[in-house]
Chain A
Amino acid sequence: MQTFSFKNYSAIILSCAALLTACNGGNQDSNNPDMAGNIHIDGSSTVYPITEAVAEEFRLEAGNVKVTVGVSGTGGGMKKFTRGEIDIVNASRSMNEAEASLAKENNITYIELPVAYDGLTVVVNPENNWVKDITVAELKKIWEPEAQGKIKKWNQIRPEWPDKEIHLYGAGVESGTYDYFTEAIVGKSHSSRGDYTASEDDNVLVQGVSTDPNALGFFGYAYYEENKAKLKVVPVDDENDANGKGAILPSLENVKNGSYAPLSRPLFIYVNSKAAVRPEVDSFVNFYLEAAAELSEEVGYIPMPAALYKEQLQKYKAFSEGAAKK
């Protein structure tokens, strides 16, 4: 007669669990072994690579501080931040009014710190030999909601361009990138035509534009940098000579000095004042602002001018001292 062998199976499972607990790795040497604690960060997947890089370097600084970073998006991160569930939120846009009033309701005070720039890059297929530059007004004509089903050919935008179909590729409507682009180009956040190929994954857009001769698309600068051979970048003219005359190419220099307008956008972190009082969070944020210039460039973004980082450091210092007094 056979017996039911639950026992054997549960033994296997339990020993697996024991094994896992046993192999918990120790911490490596660090400058500040005394500092400990947890720092919870969540939010934008665009800002994630910078924060990941900073967290990685911070481990050498204070190895016993456990920094964790999530990627639930700027909106998702803001929701948690305004409920006081996380210490720092990564954001690829500024906090909106609804979120700010939620924070107020929950008695959350915070500081906004820009940490780097991203240049939204307009690209076409390398086979496209007619587009040499484009103006913001023309981009608006292409992307505004009224263009849906109407603007379908290149020569509708500029008469000298050919009578060929135009195929559009852009960020998905849930992303902060979409919000920023529509705000800068159409003039109203979260409003554009709907008949374009949308993806939250910029690599899909790169793939699309690089294989479609009639394509026009936009995405973050880093994705253009990595795929230069497959894409042709289009300089953008905002028809405002105050910040650079004519059409401007997105480049490290042009984004940094503000002449690549209006498509350079700042990336932010927001710090909760209650968290800023904790020594580990305080030293993490300081470390972030000091290291952001180098690390943001390393992961494909554009650092701000050094003076701006200094300004942020002072702004933060005043903020954390103010928070400590309360």
Chain B
Amino acid sequence: MTNSDKNRLKDKAFQVFGIFCTLIGLVVLAVFLIDILIKGLGRIDWEFLTSLPSRRAARAGILTAWAGTLWILVLTTIIAFPLGVSAGVYLEEYARKNRLSNFLEINISNLAGVPSIIYGLLGMEIFVRQMGLGGSLLSGALTLSLLILPIIIVTTREAIKAVPGSIRDGSYALGASKWQTVWNQVLPASFGGILTGIILALSRAVGEAAPLIVIGALAYVPFIPSSPLDEFTVLPIQIFNWTSRPQEAFLINAAAAIIMLLFITFLLNGIAVYLRNKQQKKIKW
């Protein structure tokens, strides 16, 4: 066997290995999805979506849970979006490369790896106790914002980095100020990437139960929150609660609630893809 034959064989072997690795993830996901769909799909109807929690599995619904999840999503977006994008713009466009910005950079990357329950403890101390917000939607949204800020900052920076330098040079050459360049050229050009990052970050926030339980999110809430200072529950907590019940019927409810949570996540991802494509079509250099 010649050397090049050997190399070709190795190449082939790696390809097969790569396909295998890709399939593992997909197969596990498929098995999970099919299992959940079989168990839960029959349980989803209008009543399930509009009923309050109940001790009788057949009468229990997820109205307050998904309303809480939507509230949390909206509030978290309002808080994390401007903060994260501004921080990203500052670090990429304005900050000088010195020790301070290095220090900030390392810390932000580290924060992305901190377990979510730690953010819960932080939120408990700062928002719930010190700021006196209690176990409210606002505390929850602020806590989850902290959780996803590092992700948003990192993706914003990556998106801004991908904008070619010639665009900035062109803008400066026409006499635009730094701010005008960032606002009119850099941000629009990188907006697709930024948006993708934010929505992926939100998808993560939507699935969190642990930090919210720590800050005092509840399990039984018989009303839809009407202001950011109201108490709340979210879908992951409802799911967690139902999966630990002894009765089989609650496990089916949990499967149905998982489908709804997945639906929200897929919807978010779909919106991200749509907006990114729309944005990219607009950009013509």
Q: Return chain B residues, CB-CB under 8 Å to A226.
A: 246-248
Answer whether A70 and B223 are a contact pair too, CB < 8 Å, given A56-B55, A202-B246: no
B146 at the binding interface (Cβ < 8 Å): no
Docked-complex contact A3 and B184, CB < 8 angstroms: yes
Answer whether A70 and B218 are a contact pair too, CB < 8 Å, given A13-B78, A45-B241: yes
B283 at the binding interface (Cβ < 8 Å): yes
Q: Return chain A residues, CB-CB under 8 Å to B244.
A: 45, 200-203
Closest residue on chain B to residue A16 by CB atoms: B74
A59 at the binding interface (Cβ < 8 Å): yes
A80 at the binding interface (Cβ < 8 Å): yes
Q: How far is the CB of A90 from chain B (nearest CB, A)?
A: 11
Q: Return chain A residues, CB-CB under 8 Å to B63.
A: 25
Closest residue on chain A to residue B67 by CB atoms: A20
The segment out of A96-104, A263-271, A280-288, A295-303 that lies at the interface is A295-303
- CB < 8 Å neighbour of A3 from B52, B188, B220, B246: B188
A55 at the binding interface (Cβ < 8 Å): yes
Q: Return chain A residues, CB-CB under 8 Å to B188.
A: 2-4
Q: Return chain A residues, CB-CB under 8 Å to B55.
A: 49, 52-53, 56, 295, 298-299
User: Contact string, B210-227, partner A, CB cutoff 8 A, digits 1/0?
Assistant: 000110111111111111
Alpha-carbon distance between A52 and B241 when the two chains are bound, in angstroms? 12
Docked-complex contact B224 and A23, CB < 8 angstroms: yes
Q: Return chain B residues, CB-CB under 8 Å to A16.
A: 70, 74
A42 at the binding interface (Cβ < 8 Å): yes
A174 at the binding interface (Cβ < 8 Å): no
Q: How many residues of A contact B (CB 8 A)?
A: 45
Closest residue on chain A to residue B214 by CB atoms: A72
Q: How far is the CB of B187 from chain A (nearest CB, A)?
A: 5
Closest residue on chain A to residue B224 by CB atoms: A24
A71 at the binding interface (Cβ < 8 Å): yes
Q: Return chain A residues, CB-CB under 8 Å to B214.
A: 72
Q: How far is the CB of A255 from chain B (nearest CB, A)?
A: 16
User: Contact string, B241-285, partner A, CB cutoff 8 A, digits 1/0?
Assistant: 101111110010000000000000000000000000000001100
- CB < 8 Å neighbour of A4 from B187, B213, B231: B187
Docked-complex contact B219 and A203, CB < 8 angstroms: no
Q: Return chain A residues, CB-CB under 8 Å to B70.
A: 16, 20
Q: How far is the CB of A29 from chain B (nearest CB, A)?
A: 15
A66 at the binding interface (Cβ < 8 Å): yes
Alpha-carbon distance between A1 and B189 when the two chains are bound, in angstroms? 12
Q: Return chain A residues, CB-CB under 8 Å to B74.
A: 13, 16-17, 20
Alpha-carbon distance between A224 and B225 when the two chains are bound, in angstroms? 37
Alpha-carbon distance between A299 and B53 when the two chains are bound, in angstroms? 14
Q: Return chain B residues, CB-CB under 8 Å to A21.
A: 226-227
**Known pairs A24-B224, A70-B217, A201-B244. 13 more at Cβ < 8 A?**
A20-B70, A21-B226, A23-B67, A42-B216, A52-B53, A52-B55, A52-B219, A53-B55, A56-B222, A69-B218, A71-B237, A202-B246, A225-B246
25 A-B pairs (CB sep. < 8 Å): A13-B77, A16-B70, A17-B71, A20-B71, A20-B74, A25-B224, A48-B241, A49-B245, A52-B53, A52-B54, A52-B219, A52-B220, A55-B222, A56-B52, A56-B53, A56-B222, A68-B218, A68-B221, A68-B222, A68-B231, A71-B241, A72-B216, A203-B251, A223-B246, A295-B55
Chain B residues within CB distance 8 Å of chain A:
52-55, 63, 67, 70-71, 74, 77-78, 135, 183-184, 187-188, 191, 213-214, 216-227, 231, 237, 241, 243-248, 251, 282-283
Chain A residues within CB distance 8 Å of chain B:
1-4, 13, 16-17, 20-21, 23-25, 40, 42, 45, 48-49, 51-53, 55-56, 59, 66-72, 80, 200-203, 220, 222-223, 225-227, 295, 298-300
Per CB-CB distance, the 9 closest pairs between chain A and chain B, nearest first, are A69-B220, A53-B55, A226-B246, A222-B246, A70-B218, A223-B246, A71-B219, A24-B226, A68-B218
